[in-house]
Amino acid sequence: MPATSLRLLHVHAHPDDESSKGAATTAKYVDEGVEVMVATCTGGERGSVLNPKLADDPQVLANISQIRADEMARAREVLGITQTWLGFVDSGLPEGDPLPPLPEGCFGLQDPKVAAGALVRVIRAFRPHVITTYDEQGGYPHPDHVMCHRITMEAFKAAADPDLWPEHGPAWQAAKLYYHMSFHSQRQEQLELAMHEQGLDCQFPHRDTDPYSYGRLTTFIECAKYFPVRDEALRAHATQIDPDGPWFAVPLAIQQAGWPTEDYQLVVSKVPTMIPEDDLFSGLRPEPVVPEFMI
C-alpha cells in the first residue's frame, strides 16, 4: 500500500496534546505522504495558562476558549494535518485532598459507550488504517485523558460493527491501535545522562508520575529529523507551554543523538507484524518485489 493511500488518526484529549505527544512522528508521516488527522476531544476550555508571560493577561483569561482554538489552528498548519473537534467540554484537572467533583456535563463524566459515537463518526468518515491514543492511565491521570482512552477503545471496536451507530456511515475496521508511550523512564534517563556528559542539568516534566514501563514498548519511530517541527507545533500553543521551561531544557542536538525515536505500544493489530517495529504501518505496506535473477 503506497504512503499516499495510508491514513493515521490520532485521538487526543485537548488542543496541545497533538504537539506534545507524537508530533515528530506525525510530521514524518505527513512528509512521506500519509494523510494524518487529529481528533481533539475537548476545547481545552479549563486548561491552566502555563506560560508565565501570559498567566496574568486579562485578555487571555477572558478569551481562553477562542485562544485555544486559534493555537490549535496554528499547530495544525505547522504539522500539515487535518483536525476535527469532537465537541466535549474540558473537565479541568481536579486538585486537592479530597479531590473536588468534576464539573457537571464535562468530558470526564461522559458514558464512554455513548461518547464513543462522536469518534465512531470520525473513524467511519476518515477510515484510518492506524489509530493512536493514550494508555489506560491516560498517560497521566487527567480525567479527560483517561476518558479519551476509554472512548477510543470503545470506538475502535464499535466503528467496525455495522449494527452499532448505523447513522454514522458504513462500518470501518482500523487495522492497528497504539498507545503513545514516549515519556518513559529509560528515555528520560538516557537524555539526562547525555546532558550531564555535556556539563548540563535537566529535570523532565512528568518524571515523578511517569506510569510507563519500557518493557511495554513495541514500536520505535525514527523521527529526530522532525523534532524541530514538533517544537514549533508545541510553541504554537503559547498559553500551554513555557518556552523557557523544562519541555525545551534539553538542547535539540542532544535529543536527536540521545533518543531519536518516538515510542509506542502496539495494542491491537488485525495484520501480521513483527515486534519490535519501526513503522506504525508495519504489515500494511506491500512486500518489496524481489527481482528474479537470470542465470
Residue pLDDT, tens place only, 106-118: 999 999 999 999 9
Whether 284 maps to a domain, the answer reads: no
Whether 289 maps to a domain, the answer reads: no
Whether pLDDT at 235 is above 90:
yes
Whether 124 maps to a domain, the answer reads: yes
Whether pLDDT at 60 is above 60:
yes
Whether 274 maps to a domain, the answer reads: no
Taking residues 200-225, what's their average pLDDT?
75
Can you give the residue range of the structural domain that contains 246? 3-269
Residue 3 has what pLDDT?
64
Taking residues 217-231, what's their average pLDDT?
98
Q: How far is CA 101 from CA 97, 138, 147, in A?
A: 11, 19, 15
Taking residues 189-195, what's their average pLDDT?
88
Residue 198 has what pLDDT?
85
Q: Are 138 and 146 in contact (CB under 8 A)?
A: yes
Residue pLDDT, tens place only, 160-185: 999 999 999 999 999 999 999 988 88
More reliable by pLDDT, 91 or 207: 91
pTM over the 0.85 mark? yes
Whether 255 maps to a domain, the answer reads: yes
Taking residues 245-259, what's their average pLDDT?
90
Whether 258 maps to a domain, the answer reads: yes
Average pLDDT, the chain: 91
Q: Residue 1: pLDDT band by 50, 70, 90 thresholds?
A: low
Taking residues 63-74, what's their average pLDDT?
94
More reliable by pLDDT, 276 or 61: 276
List, as residue ranges, the binding site for Zn(2+): 14, 17, 145
List, as residue ranges, the binding site: 14, 17, 145
How would you list the strands of the sheet with 82-88, edge to edge? 82-88, 35-42, 7-12, 130-133, 176-180, 261-269, 219-222
Q: Which CATH number goes with the domain that contains 78?
A: 3.40.50.10320
What's the rounded Cα separation, in Å, for the pair 212 and 232? 26
Whether pLDDT at 209 is above 50:
no
Q: Are 94 and 33 in contact (CB under 8 A)?
A: no
Whether 110 maps to a domain, the answer reads: yes
HEC-encoded secondary structure of 190-205: HHHHHHHHCCCCCCCC
Residue 286 has what pLDDT?
81
More reliable by pLDDT, 162 or 197: 162
Per-range mean pLDDT, top range of 59-68, 190-199, 220-229, 242-251: 220-229
Residue pLDDT, tens place only, 48-58: 787 887 877 78
Q: For the beta carbon of residue 115, count every other beta carbon within 10 angstroms.
A: 21
Whether 283 maps to a domain, the answer reads: no
Q: Residue 267: pLDDT band by 50, 70, 90 thresholds?
A: very high
| Number of domains observed in the structure of the chain | 1
What's the rounded Cα separation, in Å, for the pair 220 and 16? 22
